[in-house]
Structure 1
Amino acid sequence: MRQRRVMNQINVVPYIDVMLVLLVIFMVTAPMMPSGTVDLPKMQKTSQAKEQPLIVTVKGRDNWTLEDRQTNKGPSSVKEQELLERLKAAQEQNPDRPVVIQADKKMSYEEVMKLMDLLQRNNVNKVGLLVQSAQ
């Protein structure tokens, strides 16, 4: 009589079958899962700032205008050093005076962040973004 040899290999076919069944189950149930949407709070009315803000408008790469609503001066084009000097001078007179960045929605996010980074590195306080209320 011939002696049987012991097989030392694992049969993986049943494991593959189980994995395929699990894959099909997940593919069928995944579209039924609720989506991860976040409901953000809505703001009905915003509080008015106590001080008139300084508005920095981003027009393009290193192309900014500064508008001082307290003195009712129209927007004037400024370079980096002049912008920093005027903002620091205005905040030395009144540290609570906010600086607001305004940009068109077509403007590159990188340009807005570059300006915000510049203001932060030069210790300009109370920097915010100007938005329009949805009406």
Structure 2
Amino acid sequence: MPSVSQRGRGRRTINEINMVPFIDVMLVLLIIFMVTAPLIAPSVIDLPSVGKAKTQPDKVVQVIVSRDETLEVRSGDKSQPMNLKDIAPAVLQAQSGQAAGSVAVVISADRNVKYETVVKVMDTLQRAGVERVGLSVQLAP
């Protein structure tokens, strides 16, 4: 209810907001957050660790994504540049004649390449039926 002031002849209301209840509520919320903040455990994300595989692949087909997003397939001592739609047939041809699962595909990409390009290569290989696809990483010194 607004306060009423009596000045002069008539009664007039004073239009002002009472800030005390607002400040009380804010102080109570501040204390609650200060007490509960240390009790909240930060979320932990389990990331896969880099380690050695149990069995090393007999043969590795390497797909190299260079800085300018050109693709190259390297199998043994042969290396050939290609575009995205020709990657899957070339990798499947390099895997043909080998035991299932013995030929791994490793994608090596420059760190400045867009993530989207690497995902497109992985998606293309997965749709073609390539089973073992890995990413080449360099461990920090």
Aligned length: 119
Q: Residue 92 of structure 2 corresponds to which residue in structure 1? A: 88
Indicate which of 74, 78, 81 corresponds to 1:67.
74
- Contact 1:60/1:111 (<8 A) preserved: no
| Structure 2 runs not aligned, ≥5 long | 1-20
Of stretches 60-69 and 115-124 in structure 1, the one that deviates more from structure 2 is 60-69
2:52 paired residue among 14, 21, 46: 46
* Shift, 1:133, TM fit: 2.7
How far off is 1:81 after superposition?
Answer: 3.7
Could you give the per-residue CA deviations for residues 28-79 of structure 1, whole angstroms, max 9, x where no partner exists?
2465455334475755x5246232210101126762011113xx22x32112
> Which AA in structure 1 matches 2:86?
E
The Cα shift of 1:123 comes to: 1.3
Change (3 A) 1:18 1:123: farther
Q: Give matches, 1:22-37, under 5 Å.
A: 22-29=28-35, 32=38, 33-37=40-44
CA 1:26–1:129 in 2, change beyond 3 Å: closer, same or farther?
farther
* TM-score, reference length from structure 1: 0.67
Write the letter of the residue equivalent to 1:86: A
Kindly report the root-mean-square deviation, in angstroms, between the aligned alpha carbons of the 2 structures. Answer: 3.1
In structure 1, the partner of 2:107 is 101
Task: Summarize the Cα distance change of 1:60–1:123 in structure 2 as closer, same or farther, 3 Å threshold.
Answer: farther
* Residue number in structure 1 paired with 2:134: 128
* Deviation at residue 116 of structure 1 after TM alignment: 0.8
Structure exhibiting the larger radius of gyration computed from Cα positions: 2
What CA distance in whole angstroms lies between the structure 2 residues aligned with 1:56 and 1:100? 6
Q: Contact between 2:106 and 2:134, CA under 8 Å: does it hold in 1?
A: yes
CA distance in 1, matches of 2:89, 2:108: 19
CA distance in 1: counterparts of 2:88 and 2:48, whole angstroms: 34
Taking structure 2 as the reference length, what is the TM-score of the superposition?
A: 0.64
